[in-house]
Each structure stands twice: as structure tokens, then as C-alpha cells.
Structure 1
């Protein structure tokens, strides 16, 4: 037994020794590496060797004086390394190439980019803070982040990026680490650091573990003072040093020594750990066996500068065991002191050579033995790619954390029963959040300067979403609630059902004395546009919550807390490439838009494109009218005209067919007994829906109410004011006799049938479907479809009679009517027959924006399922999306329009599948869905402005040309 234990001990010792002898600077072609290093070392002067120890601060946003200073550092003092700070990538690239050309040996370029180049440079990409990444359960995503950052650095000629921070942020009051740490768990911090390192170093950019031996458990900032960590060696070994051991074993190339006061490691209380031989040589190099590059933290920081003169600090740092001096403050004085120390033998050339060889080995590892200047072309595009945003979205989707959900309100379901208010707390904007919330249902922004006033305004609401928004400018910004906000939050939570969404550090929650009355709690970590938009989508069940809390919030929520939620198959809002569509190709829609507006085909319009359940293009163009007074917004609603057939009547007919209230095989006399003795009695529901029932195209009912000579409306039928007898509103100040509805159905009943069989598009059947549906369900059509579909779908901007629900300013006008209503039709239905029925008809009368049209179409595409609810059976969708009279050259399905059978007809672009379906509307509307490509397309316009003779949009086939562009945007999978 003892022998076995001894063998295990020896095995463990050997493994430990092997891990400690890893040389992260050694390349696979190490023989060539050694030859290259030897050849350079053999030709270097003492001054050139000393110059390799310095990494000088360089800026790309300063003047020529600074450039001359850097030039002098390179040419006179042989400085071998630069760290670029603030500026722009374009200017940095130019200066990089200039400085490299001046240097005898290739310069190592350093950079401090923990969350991306954006940490220092304008016009570059910003990824989430480490604290946000610490919430991610899948470490491979952090590796991908490292890869992206590695590619960015490589593209900009950066060779070592001073990241990752491996400090374990145990102290919530830490003023300098905080959001820069992956969290308080040593295992989580270590795993994330290793993943990041592997990703970045994969692209030949050296990672740097900082701040050794650990800056996480302190309330002081080493930029301004020397922080104290008063822990014993056992504690340091088990916590602070833990990630370093692991990242060293994983092959990280460099480490940064911090300016700290740790009595258990260095007894001299004024000597920073960065200058301590006990810490750098004895602990880091000997005990931990690190053989990579050792670089000091910035030597301009007060934690170091208070110790001695700049030159003395530089020499002490090298003597302590560091290889490179970051941001030295006085290179000339330091060079002189180094040379004097060599003369006095207080510093040996062997020690100098040791560090210089490591630096040269690192340069070879970085590829500097084959140095090439930075290419300036496409630099901005390469540093701000679509792939970067896709990754950013994925990172945040996996980070956002649900901590509490006592009422199972996350995600929000049963929207028909929800009356939702949004209240903003914090000193930063929450506009992206609330605008995204509004994409899913009606959400009212409620505000008041007084708490009592706010509570009173919130009384009608049964769900309050509180967004706490703090600055996302940088990770050191204050994340705290004000005292007033803490009071307001608790008072609102005491009165209402609340979801609190925190767009700030989770440490902000430490201020809350109780979470008792807060039913839902989400931590979104940052207040970026993407974080706000994605968090809103999570609330509505677009994707599952998977994030875990990277730090503890007292005893309420421990590190690692995080509830999993579920998806409801609602629309996601993202970018085209997320569903393999080309942003560049879709941008061509803007060119069509210019043509439509320039040629006055319509004063304005909306275009929406979704694929695979994700909206990737939702844009409004132009104005409400030719007066160019009011621009079209995505929230504005249009008269949908005949889209009403498939968005209002058809879903109800499908539901009635499922419930056997209106079978497809039923004849008209079966669903409307009053038609039993008519010439339409035997026409079937299937024939009507397929436009194969020999019905006339339409009847201009309004003509029968006008003088045949003057074409003026006859007083016997109309009044300017509403009364008991004239109570059906046709338009503003125009009411028709209530009995005239019976006349409309009488005209339809008595209308001649077409003699010839075959296809003829007709509105008349949908007048009849309205009657049948209202009779079967004993409710008005508008109330019926709203109750069964729109409310629960969250289609709050889809409605009949929009003036009863919306302000006129959000309703787009249609035609300047000079033939019937003699006014601008604005908020009242354009279709004359629908208007004479009071604005609610089976064939017309519906208003909506593109977003809500798309929801219905997506529900169809998902075979009757949307938002966690089944509206229609899959077999029902398939039954209605089918041609029953194709042999008779009828392209239509049941209610749905289908792609043309005759190539000369332009119902679609001719580029969609035969499974696709949709409809067009007289006012200039169009929507189409294709199960094969999974694309939903919506085009809404008021092409009938100024009047219906404006047929440019139709003649040009502009709607189907845009459809072709969308199809052409599909990227190869």
C-alpha cells in the first residue's frame, strides 16, 4: 500500500514538474526559432539589448511632437516595443508601419483591449465586459470571442493583447476590476481565461494574464495608490494564484505583474509586488515555473511611481525578474542607470541576455521574423464585421440571467390578459429596450415626477416592467441605484406585479434590502443597444435564458444562480446574416425605395423581411402623403385592403372549419340559409375561397346611392351627422342609413352569376363569409378575430376601425376621394363596400403595420403555432394552402393566393416555391410566405395616393422585384 501511495506521489510530482516546465514561447519550429534568436543576439549592442526591455506608450491621436518623441525612442534608444493607446485604427496602422520601418528590429506592438479594440480605439468593435462573459455557461463561446479579438489584433499589427484579466473579483467594492473580471468563482474565472487565451493565441496574438498575483480582493485602485492584500500564503495559493497555475499549464504566453502590497509575499510594505524579487522570481518563475514573458503593469501608475524615481523603478523591476517594462516614464535615465548597473556588476549582462532572448523568442512566436506592414485597405470593415455582431449577439443571449420568476411571468404568455407598463430607472437611456418590447405587444411607457402620481398611473396595469439603465460607456461607470430609485422600486413592487431588468453590474442588486415583492428579476449586465434589445426578446420568450450569476448577491443569490426559461417561437429581431441572408443584397431595397419615391408610385411604405422566424429587415420609407410633413415610422399602420381576406376572415374560417361550423364542402345555403333560393345556393365554400364560384368580381354599391347625373350622394341614404337611422359611419361627417346593409346583401344575392366556369377573383364571397362567421359565433367580425387571434399574438397594431384605437398621426392616409366621400380618406377604410358596412368587412377594413402582418404570416408558416400557442392545426394549414382547381388553371389556394401558373401573370417574382402563399391588396399592400425558404415578406404602401389612378407601383411590378431581391439575398448554407 505504501509503495502504491509513493508511486502516485511520484506520478503527481512528475506531472506537476512537466506542467511547470512548459515553455509557451517555444514554437513548433523551435530549431529555426533558436537560429533566428541567436543570429540577432550575436549582432546586438548593449544599448540595443537594453532597448528591448522597454514598451513605450504611443498614441495615434496626438500631434507631430509625439511622433517625433516615438521616433527618437526607436532611433536613439533602440526601444523594441510599443503599446498603442487612444486614437483610431486607421491612424494607428499608418504610424505602426512608419515606426516599424524606422526600427532595426521588428517592434513588438502591445495593446490593452480586454473587451476589444474599442477599449482604446474609436471606430472599432466593442464586445461585452468580462463580467458579462462570466455569466455564460458555454466556454466555447468565450473561446470564439478570443478568436475574434485575435483576428482583430492580427489585422492591426498588434502582437500582444493585455488580456485576459484573471483576477477573481471577490470584493464587490473593488473600484478597478469589477466588470473586468469574469466573476468571483476561481473555477469559472479560470475556465473563461483559458478559453479566451486559446482563442486569441490561435491567431498568433499573445495573451497576457493579469494582474499577478491577484487584484480581485481589494477596495483600492493601483492607478492611484498601493492596494493592500493582507492574506496569508495558503489563502493566496488557493484563490488568487489558482487561475495563474491553470493558465500557465494551458500555455499562455505572458503575464503582467501588479503593483500590490502583499505582506505574506513581500515584507517590505512600500515595495510593490511588481518590483519584488520574492514575488516575481521566487514565486512566479521558480515556484510556479512560469517560462513565458513577464511584463510589468503600467509604470506610470501611482502604485509603482511612489516607490522611487522612474529609472530606479525600471531597474528594480528587471532585477526582480520582469522581462519587459510597460510604459516606462524616463527611458533615457533608465538606459543610463542600466549601463551603470552593468558596470557596477549590480546587474549582469547574463540577466539582460536572459530577458532579451525571451523577448526575441516571443517576437518569433508572434511572426515578427516574417514581418509585413499593415494593409490599409478595408481596415475598418475587417475590424467591424458582420461576424463580430453575430458573435456579440450570441454571447449576450447566453449571458442574460433570470434570477427570480415566482409568478412564471418570464417569458410573458397569454398576452390577451396582459396590460403592460414600462417604468425607467437609472440615468441612461432605455429606448432600445422599450422599443423592442413594443414589437411584441402593447407596452405603455409610464412616467411621473412624483411617486404617488406614478403609482396612480400604474393602477390599470397588471404587469410592470422596470428597466434599470446605467451608462455603458466603460466598465468603471457607476452602477448604483440612487436612494430615490430604491424607494420607488420597492413601492412599485409592493403595489404591482413587477419584472425588474438590470442593465448594469449585478453588484447593483446589493443595495436592495429585500427582493420579496419583486416577482421577476433579470440581470442583463450592460446597457448596450444589443443587450437592451435581446433582453426584451427574452422576456417574450424568443430564446431560452441560460445565463448564470458570476458573483454572489449577499445571501439572496449565490454565484452560479440562474433559472432556465423556455422558447415560445415568437419572432426574433436580428441581422440578415443570422439567417444566411446578405445585408449587402438587402440594402438594394433602398434603391427600389428611391425609385418608388422619386417616381411618386407611393408617398411612403414599409418593407419587412423575416427568415427562419427572425425579422432581419424592417424599414419605413418616405412620408404619409406627398406634402412630406410626416415621415413613415415602423409603428404606423396602413389600410391593408384585400390582405384582410387572409389576415382576418381566413384564420376565422380555418378555425370554423376545424370546429365543423363551416365545412369546406358546405354550400352557401348551408352557411347562410337566406341564400337557399338564390342562384348561388349550391356554390361551395371551397369554390368561393378558390375564386371558382362564378361570383362577379365586385359590385360598386355606392353608385346605387348617388344621383345618376350629378353623381352626388343622395340625402335619402346619407347624413352628415350620426343618428339612430343613420348610424353607420362611412367616413368623416358621412353616415349611411343603417338599413342599407340589407340592401348590399340583397344585391349580392340577386347578382347574376358568371356563365363561364373558371377563375375570377371576387370580393363578394367575403361579404358572405362575414355574415356566416358572425352568425356562427354570435360576435362581430372585428371582435371575433381580435379575441381569437390578434390579442394573444401580440398584434396590437392590427385592427379594424383604427380611429377608435389610434391617433390619426399614426395612421397613413389613402386616397383623396372625389367620387364618393369627397375627402382625404384617413383612418377610415378605403374600400367603398367595406366603408358602407361601417368599416368592418370580410374582404377589407383591416389596418396594421408590417410587423403585425408578419406575425400572422409567421404563424401560418409555423403551421398554426406562435408564441407558445397553437392557433390552428397543421393539417388545417396544409389543407388551405393547396390548389384544388389547378387543372382548371386556378392558381389560388383556399383564401391564399399562390404563385402564378401563367408566366405572363406577375402574382410573384416567379422565384418562390410552389408551397408559398400570400396576397396583395388594392391600396398597394403585399405579403408572401414561403415554407421552402422560410421567408416572410411584407410590403405596405398607400399607392392609391393621391388617387387610385396612380398605378405606377403595379405597372412596374416593384413589389415583386423587391421579392426577387430578397430571394437573391439568400446565402449558400
Structure 2
């Protein structure tokens, strides 16, 4: 492929493409593709959603026709590209993470709770997600997380991790990666060297991980070592400082040659592609006021692909004029090899995909039947049926819409509206809690007064708590031993609600 040095550098850039945007912005991105011959695009729902972390907003966005718009934009942008574009997305739990009305899969934390054949099932999740993405014109998914979530207060990983056990995270992250690869798309392990034990959101500031090298080897680095040993072809580096790896300096890993070149590439033997986490994140963006300096620093440190740069043209100029052409040529060859491997160079106009919702729902039920579990006490269905017959069993739904599918299924089983039974007169109370947010900000979106009400009920009556949501939120319900029974359902999917309801029949 006959490209100038500058055009070769352009192939390292994957700026953001927003699906819901103005025509003016669409045209500006088209102009950038034409002018600079950039390597690819990373799709986001909208500028509003991409900014949610920065501004502590989490509004539900309801723009319509998102999938159709994205397919139209991919076709439009590919048609003006001199070199076909690598289309990427961050879709850890499927297209639904960015695009409404597309298949959603369980969060990593839910998959980490699978009790049988977890590796096989998580590989199948990766495969199905990968097929969905490929049908929508996506070549590369920036997933899964290989972070070991040992800090329950972690504001940014949490539900995105397969758990707090090193071996489980290593096995399941690799399985998920391999499933996507089997589907014919690219994937990557992230956030090297490990973002699980941090307490700062790197979208907002710089997390610093104060651990010794021995501790890092035993925990954070282990899933990445397993991935490298099993041929993982891409790793994303996070925006977190790890002084033990940088001679005591608080420098973000994403711009540290000690971490990327010396540790990851030389010491750990990783020969695949290194991609930066989003370069607009505050942990690094605030360090370089001169446009293009951050991009140059990230490339010099050892990143091969530069994701979500806000200063593409300045970055291209800085790298093209400052870096040894031999290094540029080496990275360019790696990027083009990736494009060939993922079929990027064989672009054909896309149609809007149709999903097999029946198969997806059956698969969701299959997974839910294995991760839903009683984690405290037991469930005596004979006792519950006896209490219901004399109207001494009450049910209340908190945080979620009422009636929920779960409550309707319960009422059908017990042949009465349990919500109408008095808590005061009941001998047992059933509480279903639909946790509003999977992120810990503002107590996972729960109100203190409602939590206090739930705790009060649990202390006054034998109470069964059904927790639909991130299990890390359970610690806000007081002492779990105050509840007669606690069922952790992990997700609020309809299929999950049906599986929980089966426990009562």
C-alpha cells in the first residue's frame, strides 16, 4: 500500500465517532477521514453519553434508530476512506452497552458467579457478542476487562470485572476474548497493568496503585500473563499510576515506557498490539496542554493504536516529525496486519442486521439459571405456600417499577396479590430490590430512606431479600444475617426474573 509517512502515522489513530450527532459534525469527521487517512473510528452513542462520567451524569438517553444510524454512518465513512477504516467499539456486555434494542449479555460480575462450566459459557458469551458486533460492521471490541476487582469501592471497574479471585478473572477474561476471536472479530484484555484495586475514576483523575512488584505479580499482572501465554493479540493500557513499576514516579501507565515497552513488551514478551485507553480521559488529558503532545508521548511510550484522541491532526504532525521512520514503519506493518486479519480491507456495504431474539432469550435463561443463587439462609417453599394460603406472606418491590414481571409471576403462583397483604400482619415478608445503577456513585442510585425502611422490615420480620443488580450494592442493606434469606439475582433481565420466580414454585 503506497502511503506517505504522515498517512502511515494516521493509521494509528482511532478517534471517536458519535452516532447521534449533528450533520456538521458528521461532515467534519468525513473531512478528517479524507484529509488524514486515519486508521479507524471508535463508535459511541452520543457526545452526551461519552461525557456522562466526566460530569457525573447518568441520564437515560432515548434517541431512536441508533443501530440504523450507526450502520448508515459506517457505510458513509467507509466510502470516503482511502484505506478502509478499522471500526471499534467498547461493548463489554454486547452492542447494548452503546446501542438500544440490541442484545445485552450479563455483566462480567454476573458471569463470574456462574457455578458450572463457567469457562465454556463465558467463551460462548464472547462468541455471541462477537457475532452481533460483526453483523453490525464492528471489527474490534475493546473488551474484556482483565482487572481483578479487589477494591469494593472501585468507582470505575466493579461490575465490569469477573471478580476478586485472580485465577477466575484470568480464566474468564481469556475465555471471553477467545469467544470473540472465534466469531471473527478482534478483542483485547484491559486495563494493563490492572485497574481493579483503585479508588479513583480515571475518567476524572489519576488513580495511584501503591503496591509492591511482588503484589502486582501475584494479582494485577497475572491475568495478562495468562493472556500473553495463550496468544492474546491486543492489550489496552489504563490511565493509572503504579510507582513500583516506574521508579517511584506517579506517571500514568498509558504514557510510561517503563510499563509499556520495558515491562509489557520486553519483560513479559508481548508482541501484539498495544492500544491506549481513551486519550480524552482526565487522568492524562490534563497533563498536556499543548495539542499533540499527549499523542506523541503515548506513542513513544509504546502504544501502537491511539484511541479517542481529541487532537488527531496535531498528534499526527508531532509523531510524523519527531519519531524515527523505522519505528513508524514497524507499527504501521502491525496495524495493517491487524486490518488484514480482521477483514477490514475487504469492506462491503452493510445492511442493518436482524437478531435472533428467541435464541438470545433462551441463552439468557440458560445463563441466569446458573448464576442466580441463594447466598444467605434457605428457601422453604412449603412454608411460603402455607403462609400465602392464610395471607400471611407480603411482597414489596423497591427501586424498580411495580408491578415487576417477578411480582406478577409470584402472584400467579400464589394465586393472590401479595402486595396487598399487610406487612404488619404478615409472618414473612418478601422484598425484591431492583438496584437503579450498576455503578457505586450515590449508593448505586438508591435512596438512604428506602434502605433504612428495608433494614427496619428485616429486623422486625423474617424477610427474604431478592437482589436484582450489582452484588457490590448488597453491603448497603446492613447485616445480611438480619435477613431470613438473601437471593442474589445479579441482573434485572426478564429471563433472570423468571429464573428467580422458579425458586418459589
TM-score norm. by structure 2 comes to 0.90
Going from structure 1 to structure 2, the CA distance change for 1:325 and 1:429 (only over 3 Å counts) comes to farther
Instruction: State the 1:413 CA deviation.
Output: 5.9
Which structure's CA Rg is the greater one? 1
Within the alignment, does 1:63 sit opposite 2:22 as a pair? Answer: yes
Going from structure 1 to structure 2, the CA distance change for 1:430 and 1:508 (only over 3 Å counts) comes to farther
What is the SS of the residue equivalent to 2:42? Answer: strand
| Residue number in structure 2 paired with 1:464 | 429
Q: 2:330 aligns with which of 354, 357, 360?
A: 354
| Residue number in structure 2 paired with 1:420 | 393
Q: Deviations over 1:301-357 (max 9, x none)?
A: 00111221341110111111110100111112112212321xxxxx21111111111
Going from structure 1 to structure 2, the CA distance change for 1:473 and 1:428 (only over 3 Å counts) comes to farther
Alpha-carbon separation, structure 2, partners of 1:303 and 1:388: 38
Going from structure 1 to structure 2, the CA distance change for 1:238 and 1:316 (only over 3 Å counts) comes to same
| Residue number in structure 1 paired with 2:306 | 325
| Residue number in structure 1 paired with 2:498 | 533
Going from structure 1 to structure 2, the CA distance change for 1:288 and 1:102 (only over 3 Å counts) comes to same
Going from structure 1 to structure 2, the CA distance change for 1:366 and 1:476 (only over 3 Å counts) comes to farther
Q: Deviations over 1:878-898 (max 9, x none)?
A: xxxxxxxxxxxxxxxxxxxxx
Going from structure 1 to structure 2, the CA distance change for 1:70 and 1:480 (only over 3 Å counts) comes to closer
Whether the aligned pair in 1 keeps the contact of 2:399 and 2:435 (CA below 8 Å) is: yes
What is the SS of the residue equivalent to 2:292? Answer: helix
Whether the aligned pair in 1 keeps the contact of 2:242 and 2:251 (CA below 8 Å) is: no
Within the alignment, does 1:335 sit opposite 2:316 as a pair? Answer: yes
Instruction: State the 1:472 CA deviation.
Output: 5.4
Instruction: State the 1:291 CA deviation.
Output: 1.4
Going from structure 1 to structure 2, the CA distance change for 1:93 and 1:412 (only over 3 Å counts) comes to farther
Q: Deviations over 1:192-229 (max 9, x none)?
A: 11111111110111111111111110110000000010
Instruction: State the 1:530 CA deviation.
Output: 3.0
- More off after superposition, 414-423 vs 142-151: 414-423
1:881-900 matches, within 5 Å, as none
Alpha-carbon separation, structure 2, partners of 1:359 and 1:328: 17
What is the SS of the residue equivalent to 1:166? Answer: coil
What is the SS of the residue equivalent to 1:85? Answer: strand
Going from structure 1 to structure 2, the CA distance change for 1:190 and 1:477 (only over 3 Å counts) comes to farther
What is the SS of the residue equivalent to 1:439? Answer: helix
Alpha-carbon separation, structure 1, partners of 2:382 and 2:442: 32
Going from structure 1 to structure 2, the CA distance change for 1:271 and 1:476 (only over 3 Å counts) comes to same
Going from structure 1 to structure 2, the CA distance change for 1:518 and 1:356 (only over 3 Å counts) comes to same
Q: Deviations over 1:131-156 (max 9, x none)?
A: 11111122211111111111011111
Within the alignment, does 1:180 sit opposite 2:160 as a pair? Answer: yes
Alpha-carbon separation, structure 2, partners of 1:265 and 1:96: 40
Within the alignment, does 1:503 sit opposite 2:468 as a pair? Answer: yes
What is the SS of the residue equivalent to 2:36? Answer: coil
Q: Deviations over 1:634-673 (max 9, x none)?
A: xxxxxxxxxxxxxxxxxxxxxxxxxxxxxxxxxxxxxxxx
- Give the structure, 1 or 2, with the largest relative contact order (CA under 8 Å, sep 6 or more): 2
Instruction: State the 1:285 CA deviation.
Output: 0.6
Alpha-carbon separation, structure 2, partners of 1:287 and 1:352: 22
Within the alignment, does 1:440 sit opposite 2:421 as a pair? Answer: no
Unaligned runs of 5+ in 2: 47-65
Whether the aligned pair in 1 keeps the contact of 2:147 and 2:194 (CA below 8 Å) is: yes
What is the SS of the residue equivalent to 1:86? Answer: strand
Whether the aligned pair in 2 keeps the contact of 1:51 and 1:78 (CA below 8 Å) is: yes
Whether the aligned pair in 2 keeps the contact of 1:298 and 1:328 (CA below 8 Å) is: yes
Q: 1:518 aligns with which of 469, 483, 499?
A: 483
Alpha-carbon separation, structure 1, partners of 2:250 and 2:482: 49
What is the SS of the residue equivalent to 1:59? Answer: strand
What is the SS of the residue equivalent to 1:76? Answer: helix
What is the SS of the residue equivalent to 1:219? Answer: coil
Q: Deviations over 1:441-474 (max 9, x none)?
A: 1354447xxxxxx9xx324433321112222587
Going from structure 1 to structure 2, the CA distance change for 1:474 and 1:304 (only over 3 Å counts) comes to same
Q: Deviations over 1:491-549 (max 9, x none)?
A: 32333222111112212222344333322111112233333332222233xxxxxxxxx
Cα RMSD of the aligned pairs, angstroms, is 2.2
Alpha-carbon separation, structure 1, partners of 2:365 and 2:358: 11
Within the alignment, does 1:133 sit opposite 2:111 as a pair? Answer: yes
Alpha-carbon separation, structure 2, partners of 1:231 and 1:432: 46
Instruction: State the 1:67 CA deviation.
Output: 1.5
Alpha-carbon separation, structure 2, partners of 1:216 and 1:412: 43
Runs of 4+ in 1 over 6 A off after TM superposition: 473-477
Alpha-carbon separation, structure 2, partners of 1:476 and 1:529: 25
| Residue number in structure 1 paired with 2:51 | none
Alpha-carbon separation, structure 1, partners of 2:371 and 2:454: 24
Alpha-carbon separation, structure 2, partners of 1:473 and 1:123: 19
Within the alignment, does 1:272 sit opposite 2:245 as a pair? Answer: no
Going from structure 1 to structure 2, the CA distance change for 1:335 and 1:464 (only over 3 Å counts) comes to same
Unaligned runs of 5+ in 1: 1-39, 342-346, 448-453, 541-973
Alpha-carbon separation, structure 1, partners of 2:400 and 2:409: 19
Alpha-carbon separation, structure 1, partners of 2:459 and 2:84: 65
What is the SS of the residue equivalent to 2:245? Answer: coil
Q: 2:369 aligns with which of 397, 400, 403?
A: 397
Q: Deviations over 1:705-724 (max 9, x none)?
A: xxxxxxxxxxxxxxxxxxxx
- More off after superposition, 414-423 vs 279-288: 414-423
Alpha-carbon separation, structure 1, partners of 2:307 and 2:254: 11
What is the SS of the residue equivalent to 2:375? Answer: strand
Going from structure 1 to structure 2, the CA distance change for 1:520 and 1:159 (only over 3 Å counts) comes to same
Q: 1:194 aligns with which of 174, 185, 206?
A: 174
Alpha-carbon separation, structure 1, partners of 2:442 and 2:334: 38
Q: 2:130 aligns with which of 146, 150, 160?
A: 150
Whether the aligned pair in 2 keeps the contact of 1:180 and 1:475 (CA below 8 Å) is: no
Instruction: State the 1:233 CA deviation.
Output: 0.7
Alpha-carbon separation, structure 1, partners of 2:98 and 2:446: 28
Going from structure 1 to structure 2, the CA distance change for 1:142 and 1:358 (only over 3 Å counts) comes to same
1:684-833 matches, within 5 Å, as none
Whether the aligned pair in 2 keeps the contact of 1:166 and 1:193 (CA below 8 Å) is: yes
Q: Deviations over 1:415-459 (max 9, x none)?
A: 245442102233655622211111211354447xxxxxx9xx324
Within the alignment, does 1:246 sit opposite 2:237 as a pair? Answer: no
Whether the aligned pair in 2 keeps the contact of 1:479 and 1:508 (CA below 8 Å) is: yes
* Structure showing the higher helix proportion among its residues: 2
Whether the aligned pair in 2 keeps the contact of 1:472 and 1:527 (CA below 8 Å) is: no
Going from structure 1 to structure 2, the CA distance change for 1:375 and 1:515 (only over 3 Å counts) comes to closer
Whether the aligned pair in 2 keeps the contact of 1:259 and 1:274 (CA below 8 Å) is: yes
| Residue number in structure 2 paired with 1:120 | 98
Going from structure 1 to structure 2, the CA distance change for 1:92 and 1:483 (only over 3 Å counts) comes to closer
Alpha-carbon separation, structure 2, partners of 1:259 and 1:310: 18
- Number of residue-to-residue matches in the alignment: 480
